[in-house]
Structure 1
Amino acid sequence: MEMSMSSEEVIAQIKRLHGNGESLSKKYVKKSHPELMKNALYYYPSWEHAIQKTGVMTT
């Protein structure tokens, strides 16, 4: 399967969303950024793991 982002790009995109004040909830990202979600789940075992990898704190 060909991915459109590298794992580094996935992390950068998650950080960008967080920095812009967008929700990082799985439901929101799956709906508004499906390509990001698909790539994140390719590289990481779960969306939560991908967020943890960024080091951003979510509530």
Structure 2
Amino acid sequence: MKPRIAVTADDTDWRMPVGGPGLLLEVPSWGHWRRRPLLHVEATRPYLLRVMLGGQPLFWMRVDD
């Protein structure tokens, strides 16, 4: 079975200091993006994230260095 996802290196200059490889998600603050989607990620206390579906938490994540 062939993979359906290809991951390649991104050499775009985002003008942001980064400590290493990672994921950058940029969502515009104008237009139809202002409505919160049913499935979304929220940042909470330091180093905690939660994935929400509507108003219910699906799972919590702890950011580990």
TM range (shorter): under 0.3
Higher relative contact order (CA 8 A, sep 6+): 1
Give TM-score scaled by structure 1 length: 0.23
Which structure's residues are more often helix, by fraction? 1
> Highest CA radius of gyration, 1 or 2?
2
Give TM-score scaled by structure 2 length: 0.22
Which structure's residues are more often strand, by fraction? 2
